[in-house]
Structure formats: structure tokens, C-alpha cells
Amino acid sequence: MTGETMNGMADNGFDPSTAYPGYGMAGAYMPMGQQPMGVPSAQPQSQPQAQPMPAAMQAQPQMAPMAQMGLPPLMLGTYTPKIDAKGRMALPAKLRSQLGTGLVMARGQERCVYLLPAMEFRRIAMQIQRTSMGDKAARDYLRVFLSGAVDQDPDKQGRVLVPQMLRDYANLGDDIVVIGVGTRAEIWNREAWEAYLADKEQGYADIADDVLPEVGL
């Protein structure tokens, strides 16, 4: 048995909202495409904008190389390259990048050959020259130092030519040692270096505690 609704229509289980998609609220039929009064139309949701990362949270830059910090390269270690029959020596890869494309070879103390970056060589020469006019020892040093200095540019294989006069000065054959000494490198005759090191190691061990405070370490 069917009942009657409040508006007099038969209650037979029929749901007008399923048959008429536009059927409005409170049983009032609304044509499709229109919204009932008081019901706001749906608006597309806007995507939130990405906010920039705060500066404090951004990745910190890596430590700059020493050259970018205004410091000279620090050369370290001991290497054993060879000098070929033409007098060429392959620079150790680590030192090659630190010495740069332009370097200077010069007579060093204790019969070795200095390898200096061009800027370091210039700094040393200018420092000596400032005192050489009134100091005979400084004048003598400057003459010997500069007269034996040679500009070198490594070739594509990273080799440099060690001039004959410097090979003679340091008694360099094919068996050599290259050591890093802070702002420069040195080329030694291998036997001479081993004898020098054997003679100085014990003295170094004995005086290390006295010397280090004097240089601010």
C-alpha cells in the first residue's frame, strides 16, 4: 500500500534525485546547469605555490681551495719520478696542479733545485731585492739565485725540462727525489737526499719541541 507525501504525491519508494540529477534541495526540482539559491558553485582549487627555502636552510658552499682564499698552495710529500735522456722530468700529478702552468726552476740550498710557482718566485725575488742594495750577502744571494732561474711550462704530458746547468749544480741523474716543502718543491739527487735525511732526522726529533713554539704552532 502506498502512502502519500506532504505534497500529495504517492509515496511508492521513488527517489526523484536519482532520476533527475538537477533535483534541488527540499524536494524542489532545479533544471540542470543551475544551482539552488544559497548553494555556492564549486570553484577549482588552486595549487599552493612553492615557497623559497630560507637562506639559513640552503646548502652551505664547500670550502674554497687555498688559492681562492688568497693562500699559496701547500706542497707536501716525497715523490720519485725519473729524468729521461733528454733531461725531461714528469711532474708528480699532485704538485703539477699546485705549481700551475707557469713555474720557475732555480738553484736551491744544499745543492737541490727549487720548483716555484711564478708568483712565489716573484715574491721571494722582490723580498731579497729590497734588502740587497745595502747588504753584500743579500746581493750575492740574489745574483746566484736569479742568474740560475729558468721559466718552464709543462708540456701536455706534464713534463718539464731540467736545464743542464741545474742538473750539474744538483748532480741530478735519472734517479731523483722530488719533495714538497710548503710553498715550493725541491729536486734532489736521491743518494744526496737520503744522506741528508739520515743526518737531519735525529736532530729534527730532538729540536722539534723547541722550534715549533717560535714559529707560532
The answer to whether residue 88 sits within a structural domain is yes
> Residue 15: left if φ>0, alpha if ψ -120 to 50, beta else—which one?
beta
Residue (of 168, 178, 175) closest to 95 by Cα position: 178
C-alpha cell at 66: 687555498
Structural domain boundaries, residue 115: 78-208
Beta carbons within 8 Å of 163's beta carbon, 6+ residues apart:
87, 105, 150
- In the chain, how many domains are there? 1
- Cα 119 to Cα 104: distance, rounded to the nearest angstrom: 9
Q: Please state, rounded to an integer, the average pLDDT across all residues of the chain.
A: 76
- Cα 62 to Cα 16: distance, rounded to the nearest angstrom: 70
The answer to whether residue 215 sits within a structural domain is no
The answer to whether residue 38 sits within a structural domain is no
User: Looking at the whole model, is its pTM more than 0.75?
Assistant: no
Q: What angle do CA 138, 212, 69 make, to 5 degrees?
A: 75
pLDDT over 70 percentage in the chain: 62
Look at 55 and 49; give whichever has higher pLDDT: 49
The answer to whether residue 125 sits within a structural domain is yes
The answer to whether residue 167 sits within a structural domain is yes
The answer to whether residue 51 sits within a structural domain is no
Highest mean pLDDT among 6-15, 17-26, 93-102, 192-201: 192-201
Q: Which CATH number is 97's domain given?
A: 3.40.1550.20
The answer to whether residue 48 sits within a structural domain is no
The answer to whether residue 187 sits within a structural domain is yes
Q: What is the DSSP letter of 135?
A: -
> Residue 171: left if φ>0, alpha if ψ -120 to 50, beta else—which one?
left
pLDDT tens digit string along 160-189? 999 999 999 999 999 999 999 998 999 999
Q: What angle do CA 104, 107, 108 make, to 5 degrees?
A: 105
pLDDT tens digit string along 74-115? 899 999 999 999 999 999 888 887 887 789 999 999 999 999
